[in-house]
Amino acid sequence: MVDRLSVEVAGLKLRNPTILAAGILGVSGDLLVKVWKSGAGAVTTKSLGLEPRVGYPNPTVIQLDYGLLNAVGLANPGIHEFAQEMEKVKSSNATLVVSVYGFSPREYREVAGAAEDYGADAVELNVSCPHVERLGSEVGQNPKLLREVVAEVKSTLKIPVFVKLTPNVSDIVEVARAAVDAGADALTAINTVKAMAIDIETMYPILGNRFGGLSGPAIKPIAVRCVYELFEEFSIPLIGCGGILDWRDAVEFMLAGASAVQVGSGIMVKDLGIFSSIVEGINLYLESKGFSRVDEIVGLSHRR
């Protein structure tokens, strides 16, 4: 089962194709280790910047019938303060992806470089957070700026660089091309969809920041479509993310073209057992269909 489910994404070897998505339980080393021991193929930290950031006022998260709506505002202790937490993760032999952000190409490079120095196995550039001004509203939607950010990070890093794309654009392929041309090693699709909710009694927006990012089952069809389109255009590995609740969702993403999948809000709907459940389900699916390895189904929907 281990051999059948192991995958490689841009040179990064994973014991199975499931990855903890950024922003979910990635706030401490202990929680990341707990996720790893629950069966994830890799874990991703909460997005980290160069300096500590308080984030937005409460309420920052709303649970909806069809997913989660959040506007946390990238609250984090900063990459250097988080180094001790990263040490805990590395001591458990977990595969660690560090999500990073910055407010300039140089700042992205500095944060990513620090993550590499502290032991990250890969970095994921958060250029797609839809509720942070000066960040996702510009970088992830601006091909020229995105190209500059990716090129700056790639100029010094030796570990793989993933770029997490926003769905809040008219053409995700156009934006992705800028990242690929600049040297991105893999693409993660997708981050949350810009959304909001209003309380009809108070008549005010519910989130402290008014606007937030929608995740969960509601965005899965959008994410699958994005992965499918990206697979048609690019040869670099894709990581599917958005609304994965069980192995069927994971298989759907892989058939669309994802080499691995990220699980985030699904943990809130279920529990940490979701990782082992997905892995077991994929394994049984492969057996039932006569496949010897999981990578044999990647992009298979394009060939039928």
Catalytic residues, which ones?
129
Strand ranges across the sheet with 67-70: 61-64, 67-70, 211-215, 193-196
Q: Which stretches of 161-300 are assigned E, i.e. beta strand?
A: 161-165, 186-189, 193-196, 198-199, 204-205, 211-215, 238-241, 260-263
Q: Which residue has the tokens 């934006």?
A: 175
* Count of other CB atoms within 10 angstroms of residue 27: 16
- What is the distance between the alpha carbons of residues 178 and 174, in angstroms, rounded to a whole number? 7
Degrees, nearest 5: CA angle 155-140-123? 45
What six digits make up the tokens of 52?
């500590």
Rounded to 5 degrees, what are φ and ψ at 60? -110, -15
Asked if 223 and 258 touch (Cβ cutoff 8 Å), the reply is no
Q: What is the DSSP string of 63-119?
A: EETTEEEE-----B--TTTTHHHHHHHHHTT--EEEEE--SSHHHHHHHHHHHHHTT
* Count of other CB atoms within 10 angstroms of residue 59: 16
Angle, helices 172-181/220-233, rounded to nearest 10 degrees:
50
> Is the dihedral angle over the CA atoms 258, 262, 265, 266 positive or is it negative?
positive
Asked if 172 and 189 touch (Cβ cutoff 8 Å), the reply is yes
